[in-house]
Structure 1
Amino acid sequence: MCAKRIYMPDPRAAVTNDLIIRKIVEGSRVIDLGCGDASLIKRLRDEHSCDVLGVERDEELFIRGIESGVPMLQADMNQGLDELPAQSFDFAILSQTLQQIDRPLDLLNEIFRIARRALVVVPNFAHWKVRLQILLRGRAPVTSHLPYEWYESPNVHFLSMVDFRELANEGNFKIVRELPIIGSRAVKRASFANWRAHSALYVLERNSTDDSQKATESQQLVTA
């Protein structure tokens, strides 16, 4: 039996899912890595005519996905994606899961063996409420978007938007679009986004082998 992964739904899941769906071309081949109960890819299949596959290691959530009629694969992403054939998907989704993976950079690099683009949603641990709790209370923060006590949290990595940009510079991929999620909406351009956003959606593409503009593009994203 696969180890249990704590499913951490996004408190703004409806907003996040709508954002992801708008970034996916109708009829695409889509894989959702850490799909939970498969509700997002079920929408992509039913409303967007996508060919979908969900990957989830938690047995209960895996069964719920199967019962909803979604094709599912039960697998532990910490073990890699070797079971999946190369370039078999147009889009890979990784929503509120990356921070739970033991080696997130390895997984991101591997995603671009199986997919052309990736849509990644991560919490922003540099949000002002998080910073304020650490400053004033001197303890691990608990907020509406990070609702777990430190000893119950599924998160094994704690990152900010700045951290993710730096991670992209280490990988085989580049950030095409960064969308800070502030309140109930995504903002294309936001002042002090790393303070204000509780999470962020990243659209990623694989770097070409001769991509000499990587650092320049990343910096343009930061300043946009």
Structure 2
Amino acid sequence: MTATRQNLRPDLARIAGWIADGSRVLDLGCGDGTLLAHLRDARRARTVGVEISDQHVIECARKGVNVIQQNLEDGLALFEDGQFDTVVLSQTLQAVHNTERILLEMARVAREGIVSFPNFGHWTHGLSILRGHMPVTGQMPYQWYNTPNIHLCTMKDFEALAAKLGLRILTRVTFADGREVSWLPGWRSTLAVYRFASPREAA
């Protein structure tokens, strides 16, 4: 039994709402395949996931999700230019070593990209640093010495990088505690979700 949109995490439900019926979708770091299974069943999307975890690959297989076991750091050479309509990188960007490379590869293989990441600009993070400690929150629940998050950024940081790479931001949605945030999102949101067009589409 696959997740309905109502049962998806709020950020994944918003992402699903941006996917057109019949789209070709690539999900990088697809986890257990919940989003892809939903898109396949609810949107008739043609989906492929990339995931490195053995357990997550098994869970994808149980859901009937097409998945390739591969480290994202190895790039997306398996995929052709423009092979997909949308490529998703959900809550994984901050753990990727070569941030620019993965964003440019996303723009190469798809017309649009969707990226979500923890917003390091949230006010509690600044307060934690003023108190002399790295932040530990629900969105970033790790200690400094065991965190997989190696490239933390604020929303303005990401928007500056997108502009540098020629990625045209189409939509931005922010969340805190599973609810959308519209007022002072740079300070009040813990998670940011961006939808962007590849340079080919922006031209």
- Correspondence for 2:154: 160
2:202 & 2:45 partners in 1: Cα distance? 32
- Correspondence for 1:194: 186
Q: How many Å apart are 1:209 and its aligned residue?
A: 9.1
1:177 to 2:171 alignment: yes
Judging changes above 3 Å, is the alpha-carbon distance between structure 1 residues 205 and 20 closer, same or farther for their aligned structure 2 residues?
A: same
- Gaps of at least 5 residues in structure 2 are 1-7
Q: How many Å apart are 1:101 and its aligned residue?
A: 0.6
- Correspondence for 2:81: 86
Q: How many Å apart are 1:186 and its aligned residue?
A: 2.5
1:163 & 1:100 partners in 2: Cα distance? 16
Instruction: Give runs of ≥4 in structure 1 deviating > 2 Å.
Output: 182-187, 207-211
Q: How many Å apart are 1:86 and its aligned residue?
A: 1.8
- Correspondence for 1:118: 113
TM normalised by structure 2 equals 0.91
- Correspondence for 1:10: none
Q: Secondary structure at the match of 1:144?
A: coil
Q: How many Å apart are 1:139 and its aligned residue?
A: 1.0
Q: How many Å apart are 1:34 and its aligned residue?
A: 0.4
2:56 & 2:13 partners in 1: Cα distance? 21
Q: How many Å apart are 1:185 and its aligned residue?
A: 2.6
- Correspondence for 2:60: 65
Q: Does structure 2 conserve the Cα–Cα contact (< 8 Å) formed by 1:30 and 1:53?
A: yes
Q: Does structure 1 conserve the Cα–Cα contact (< 8 Å) formed by 2:168 and 2:202?
A: no
Judging changes above 3 Å, is the alpha-carbon distance between structure 1 residues 22 and 125 closer, same or farther for their aligned structure 2 residues?
A: same
1:54 & 1:131 partners in 2: Cα distance? 35
TM normalised by structure 1 equals 0.83
- Gaps of at least 5 residues in structure 1 are 1-12, 212-224
1:133 to 128, 137, 141: 128
1:124 & 1:159 partners in 2: Cα distance? 6
Q: Does structure 2 conserve the Cα–Cα contact (< 8 Å) formed by 1:86 and 1:114?
A: yes
Matched residue count: 196
- Percent of residue pairs bearing the same amino acid type: 36
Judging changes above 3 Å, is the alpha-carbon distance between structure 1 residues 111 and 202 closer, same or farther for their aligned structure 2 residues?
A: same
- Correspondence for 2:26: 31
Q: How many Å apart are 1:41 and its aligned residue?
A: 0.6
Q: Does structure 2 conserve the Cα–Cα contact (< 8 Å) formed by 1:181 and 1:200?
A: yes
Q: Does structure 2 conserve the Cα–Cα contact (< 8 Å) formed by 1:109 and 1:172?
A: no
Q: How many Å apart are 1:191 and its aligned residue?
A: 3.4
RMSD over equivalenced CA pairs, Å = 1.6
